[in-house]
Amino acid sequence: MFDDIFLFVKVVQNGSFTTVAKMENTHATTISRRLKNLEDLLGYKLYQINSANKLILNEKWKKLYAMFDKLKDESEESLKSFITDDRIEGPLSVVISPILQRLIIDQDFIDLLRKYPNLDLPILNAYYGENGDKLDFDIGLSFQVPAIAHYTQQKMCSVACGFFASTEYIKEYGMPLSPEDAEVNHLFVGILLEHKFRVSEVVLIDKDKNEKVVKINNSLCTGTSFESGAIIASKNMGLVALPVNTVYVNLERVLPEYKIIFELPVYLVQSSRSTSAKKKLILAFLKSKMSKLSEGS
């Protein structure tokens, strides 16, 4: 009887015998017959079909539907939790750009590993090894999209960036007081990303939504990634544009009331292998962390 009641709930949710029949890999007439048997067993009419071929619940059975719909959700969630906790084990290789690691590998990450001690989660810095061969990985998170067969790519978010400088640089040359001050009196570390995006002119927007354009044409040197840009800036060589909401050793935020606006996406790369419980867990964790990166500060 309970199987048929849950079938009744599914029919109400989907509004169609045919749709549920496909889900159950059976025929619509079978679904109809099971619900008719349920009505005979209960001694009540569960529903009516109106002139628009729409299923209309009888008033009394709206309460039955609501009760079992809630019970169904709770049961499925409990079962999902039970199965998931039981299968979070074994290896799962993840590639994360070093700059993004600063955001992701934190206390929450440590707590996750403590909760699932049987999960082996190696973190790789790149998709390719020193010899140029592709590394075997399950999930990737980076500012570039690798051309790798049997992997899917999707844009997860766009970064919000700000200017940073080393403590020693600020001590020697002072803290910029405005975008104009930064443009005239300070050096910048240029960044060339994927040989097609250069931080040479940026639009700053403050909390009051006022835009100011700063031309970065006085860069002392150019890095080929956010990571190299951060290293150059840490050597007291100037201001560098970096993703906010991350921690940089020996670097301080400059002009914190401004964000740099440009479209620089973060990509999620996944293997085409089946999605396991542990993979779903890590994907949810990464997406939560990336939402903070896209919000900026």
- 271 CB contacts (<8 Å, ≥6 apart)? 137, 138, 139, 150, 151
Question: Helical H runs in 197-243?
Answer: 226-234
The answer to whether 162 touches 242, Cβ cutoff 8 Å, is: yes
The upper half-sphere exposure of residue 253, i.e. CA atoms within 13 Å in the direction of its Cβ, equals: 15
Over residues 2-17, the mean pLDDT reads 75
With cut-offs at 50, 70 and 90, classify the pLDDT of residue 166. very high
Cα dihedral 252, 254, 260, 264, rounded to 10, equals -20
Domains of the chain by range and CATH? Answer: 2-87 (1.10.10.10), 90-158+265-295 (3.40.190.10), 161-261 (3.40.190.290)
Q: Does residue 83 register a pLDDT over 50?
A: no
Question: pLDDT by residue (tens digit) across 58-82?
Answer: 666 666 667 666 665 555 555 455 4
With cut-offs at 50, 70 and 90, classify the pLDDT of residue 172. very high
Q: Does residue 130 register a pLDDT over 50?
A: yes
Higher pLDDT among residues 77 and 22, named by residue: 22
The answer to whether 192 touches 198, Cβ cutoff 8 Å, is: yes
Partner residues linked to 211 by β-bridges = 205
Over residues 90-101, the mean pLDDT reads 88
State whether the Cα torsion 176-180-181-186 is positive or negative. positive
Q: Does residue 37 register a pLDDT over 60?
A: yes
Higher pLDDT among residues 232 and 50, named by residue: 232
CA angle 131, 270, 260 (to 5 degrees): 90
Higher pLDDT among residues 198 and 135, named by residue: 135
Confidence at residue 197, expressed as pLDDT on a 0 to 100 scale: 44
With cut-offs at 50, 70 and 90, classify the pLDDT of residue 252. very high
